[in-house]
């Protein structure tokens, strides 16, 4: 399998962490690339019409995207404990938390694009504040529901850890660690895992 990814992407990091935790990483060729909203990446656009990474190319030529689909596919390939729970009551709660993590990543990434790719005089502060407001509300909800982040590792925990790692990497000024102590405890513990350390952006 070939994974097209960018090292700084929290969505791609989520896939890499899951692949590492499931023992599948050695079966994947990692192909680094860059995707920006203002410049075309023809290879990625050919594989994924949305022009987004990560993209997983299977051995038979099939292409999978986005990170949620790739992660669930990879979770079907191994014999270790599953990271997508099967029992309905647990599964839907886990997927809800995973969706919240994806929402934090999306809001943070597009805010990063707004700041890094758009000229300063054309940046929309109210729009940025709106996106970062989503991030803070999501972190507050996760902090208040920290008991759900305990227990065996699952896709929600991986997603949340990658989202928080991206905030540390790109948004140090948010100082989320000063506001959400339960998430700090969670993140510091998850960060000790080899999968998180191997995938940490430089």
Q: Which two tokens stand for residue 60?
A: 């038979």
Confidence of residue 118 (pLDDT cuts 50, 70, 90): confident
Kindly report, residue by residue over 4-50, the tens digit of the pLDDT. 999 999 999 999 999 999 999 999 999 999 998 777 899 999 999 99
Question: Given this model, what pLDDT does residue 102 score?
Answer: 98
Number of H helices, E strands in the chain: 8, 4
Q: Which two tokens stand for residue 16?
A: 């890499």
Mean pLDDT of the chain: 96
Exposure b/e, 88-100, CB count within 10 A at least 16 = b: eeeeeebbebbeb
Closest CA to 105 of 52, 180, 58: 52
Block residue for tokens 């660690």:
177
d(CA 128, CA 125): 5
Collapsing DSSP to helix, strand or coil, 56 comes out as: strand
Q: Does residue 66 have a cis peptide bond before it, meaning omega lies within 30 degrees of 0?
A: yes
Collapsing DSSP to helix, strand or coil, 196 comes out as: helix
d(CA 85, CA 92): 9
**Predicted confidence (pLDDT) at residue 154 exceeds the cutoff of 90:** yes
Kindly report, residue by residue over 40-95, the tens digit of the pLDDT. 899 999 999 999 999 999 999 999 999 999 999 999 999 999 999 999 999 999 99
Confidence of residue 202 (pLDDT cuts 50, 70, 90): confident
What secondary structure does DSSP assign to 58-119, as a single string? -TTS-EE-SHHHHHHHHHTS-SSPPSS--SHHHHHHHHHHHHHHHHHHHHHHHHHHHHHHS-
**Predicted confidence (pLDDT) at residue 117 exceeds the cutoff of 90:** no
Question: Given this model, what pLDDT does residue 68 score?
Answer: 97
**Predicted confidence (pLDDT) at residue 133 exceeds the cutoff of 90:** yes
pTM metric for this prediction:
0.96
């Amino acid at each position: 399998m070939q994974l097209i990814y960018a090292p700084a992407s929290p969505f791609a990091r989520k896939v890499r962490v899951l692949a590492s935790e499931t023992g599948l990483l050695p079966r994947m060729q990692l192909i680094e690339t860059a995707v920006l909203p203002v410049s075309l990446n023809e290879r990625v656009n050919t594989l994924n019409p949305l022009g987004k990474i990560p993209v997983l190319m299977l051995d038979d030529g099939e292409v999978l995207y986005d990170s949620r689909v790739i992660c669930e596919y990879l979770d079907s390939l191994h014999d270790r404990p599953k990271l997508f729970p099967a029992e309905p009551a647990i599964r839907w709660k886990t997927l809800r938390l995973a969706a919240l993590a994806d929402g934090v990543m999306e809001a943070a990434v597009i805010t990063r694009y707004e700041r890094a790719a758009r000229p300063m005089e054309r940046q929309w502060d109210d729009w940025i504040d709106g996106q970062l407001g989503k991030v803070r509300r999501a972190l507050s909800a996760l902090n208040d529901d920290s008991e759900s982040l305990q227990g065996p590792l699952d896709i929600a925990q991986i997603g949340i850890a990658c989202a928080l790692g991206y905030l540390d990497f790109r948004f140090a000024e948010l100082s989320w660690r000063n506001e959400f102590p339960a998430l700090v405890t969670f993140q510091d513990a998850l960060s000790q895992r080899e999968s998180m350390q191997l995938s940490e952006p430089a």
